[in-house]
Amino acid sequence: MPITSSAKKALRASKKKRVYNVRHRDAVLSVTKEIRKLVSAKKAKDAMKLLPKAYAELDKAAKTGFIKKNTADRKKSRLASFIKKAI
């Protein structure tokens, strides 16, 4: 347990940040998992419709600092190429 007041404040802040980080992680993982599931089920057209949602989630995660911008861009690119190969 934190003893100093600054350590207590840091703990409070990290708990708040964790909530947002978990929210972004779950959103990114769920949408990418859904796209990969659709592509493996030979439904690339449906996966293509989910691509803008994946882009939005990755951009939000990058905007808040959960992941870096280049990481988000790389993930978007790989998702798009994954779908394009399946079409």
In contact, 66 and 21? CB cutoff 8 Å:
yes
Residues 18-40 have pLDDT tens digits of: 999 999 999 999 999 999 999 99
pLDDT at residue 18, rounded to an integer? 97
Encode burial over 43-71: b for 16+ CB neighbours within 10 A, e otherwise: ebeebbebeeebbebbeebbeeebbeeee
Using an 8 Å Cβ cutoff, are 72 and 61 in contact?
Answer: yes
The structural domains of the chain, with segments of one domain joined by +, span 5-86
pTM of the model: 0.86
Looking at the predicted structure, is the pLDDT value of residue 83 above 90?
A: yes
pLDDT-derived band of residue 70, with 50, 70 and 90 as boundaries?
Answer: very high
- Answer yes or no: CATH 1.20.58.110 is held by domain 5-86: yes
Statement: residue 87 has pLDDT above 90? no
Task: Show the tokens assigned to 69.
Answer: 């911008």
Q: How far apart are CA 61 and CA 35, in angstroms?
A: 18
